[in-house]
Structure 1
Amino acid sequence: MSDWRYILLVIVFVLPGCSQQVVLEQDFPIPVMRTIQQPITLYVSPELRSYTHSEKPEKGAQWTIFFGESNARLFESVLRGMFEPLTVVYSLDDAADDATLIRPVMHDYQFSTPGMSKGDYYEVWVKYSLQMLQPKNKQLLDWHFTAYGREESSGNSASSAMQEASRRAMRDAAAAIVLGFTKQAKVREQFGLPPVKR
């Protein structure tokens, strides 16, 4: 066999096994809850819409996780169930001068595979924050939270299991927002809500 044919076979059969790509395209339900009748503007930044995580563990394949529009869908769905009315903008220039802005930020994405943990699960941790801004971008709040998801490796391809673990982490993030965001003192003060009873 000639050298070039051998090299081609290596590229075709070996390299695909060295890389895993996951594209997240999830939609998220609007939570059914008592809506706060206060107008807010959700600012979805270019960084949030294009977030991509790429990592090569010491033992294992190269992973690339594309979040695409899934982050925007997550925060729009959750906040639409919490506040009325909700306006979504993709540029700060499009926000009204007197708007109260909510800006989601994705800070970190971490994962563990069965090969890394010697376990049976693909696990995902995602760290977000919600920033609340007054007009002229004066920051009132920077609330950080971490979400978790996992999926068994049996019966799934590696990419499918990582995709499901990521989806569950994002649903966990949605639950964290619903349960925790409006308990923050600055949020309650901004929207005229009574303090949380201790």
Structure 2
Amino acid sequence: MSRSTISASRCLLVLALALLAGCGPNTVKVEGHFPPPLMDALPIRLGVWYPEEFRNHEIFDEARSRSESDWVVQTGTAQVAMWNSLLQGMFIHFVPLQEAPAKGKPIPGVDAVLIPHVDELQYAIPQQTHIKVYEIWMRYRFELLDDKGESLVGWTMPAYGKTPTAFLRSDEDAVNLAAVMALRDAGANFAMTFPGIPEVAALMGVPEPKPDEAAHGELPSGDELPLLLDDGPAMDTGVIHEVENVPVETGGEDTP
């Protein structure tokens, strides 16, 4: 084989490797603006602990065919930003914890500790659904502990965001906006449902409703339900999603 043939083969190999390197997954690091909620602060000193998998949350979705691409959607930074803004505005005192709460260990300066988890995230793009809409679904799981790390209650909550294809420059921009809308939806749903959880009402000193009042399913202080965000796309606060109680395990070690 001549030197010229070897050189040409090497050039083709380098070109092929470069093309393969350029065919990586579509990566979206979700970014958005999350103003504080417009509501009166609840009389609870709340601590929050973000587990490592929450702070660094991302999903990887492998392409289903040669015509599709792999996707990586990173929501961790945006999750922390949204929940910090929301919780700081919702409560009279908000404390991001520097270490994971442990069962039986007192947590000074707080009445309760919230631990959020993203149990599931799904997305849909027009190439998959043949509908000109980008969608994001998330399912959160929350643990609420008392000031000694003991479990008070656990529940799950859905969130949803979508955006049409019009006026968006790329699939990545559209997925980012759909994720931001899902985060805003999560914030609105949390702010509306959290005060109505019996264990939360007890923390605030709200008396339990009488049986006839409970039968009507009314949330306390209905005239003061929050409308979140005075900036950017409005959260849909017209629907109160179901809150489901789930068992909670505590006491695991986790460090930032």
Q: TM-score, normalised by structure 1?
A: 0.88
Change (3 A) 1:141 1:159: same
The CA RMSD measured in Å over matched residues stands at 2.3
Match of 1:66 among 74, 78, 83: 74
| Number of the residue aligned with 1:51 | 57
Report which of the two has the higher share of helix: 1
Higher-Rg member (1/2): 2
User: Aligned pairs, how many?
Assistant: 198
Percent identical residues: 21
> 2 CA distance for matches of 1:8 and 1:194?
72
Q: 1:77 aligns with which of 70, 85, 91?
A: 85
Structure 2 distance, partners of 1:18, 1:114, is 20
Per-residue CA deviations over 1:9-36 (Å, capped at 9, x if unaligned) read: 3444455345200012334111010111
Look up the match of 1:111.
123
Once the 2 structures are TM-superposed, how far is the Cα of residue 166 of structure 1 from its aligned partner?
0.6
Moved more, 162-171 or 87-96: 87-96
DSSP-derived class of the 1:69 partner: helix
Listed as ranges, the gaps of 5+ residues in structure 2 are 217-256
Q: Which runs of 5+ in 1 are unaligned?
A: none
| 1:16 aligned residue (6, 22, 28) | 22
SS in 2 for 1:85: strand
- Change beyond 3 A, Cα 1:4–1:126: farther
Given the two structures, how large is their TM-score scaled by the length of structure 2?
0.70
Give the stretch that moved more between structures: 120-129 or 9-18: 9-18
- CA-CA distance at 1:97 after TM superposition: 4.5
CA distance, structure 1, for counterparts of residue 128 and residue 142 of structure 2: 31
Q: Deviations over 1:79-130 (max 9, x none)?
A: 1221111111131269725731111111111001111111101111011122
Check conservation: 1:123, 1:149, Cα contact below 8 A: yes
Whole-angstrom CA distance in 2 between matches of 1:52 and 1:133:
26
Contact 2:101 2:149 in 1 (8 A): no
How far 1:68 sits from its partner (Å)?
3.4
Q: Which one has more relative contact order, counting CA pairs under 8 Å at least 6 apart?
A: 2
Aligned counterparts of 1:3 and 1:125: Cα–Cα separation in 2: 47
1:39 and 1:151 mapped to 2: Cα distance? 36
Deviations 1:15-60 (A, max 9, x none): 5345200012334111010111221111122221111111114142
Q: Where does 1:49-198 land on structure 2 (aligned, <5 Å)?
A: 49-59=55-65, 60-92=68-100, 96-97=107-108, 99=110, 100-154=112-166, 155-195=168-208, 197=213, 198=216
Which aligned segments of 4 or more residues in structure 1 are displaced greater than 6 angstroms?
none
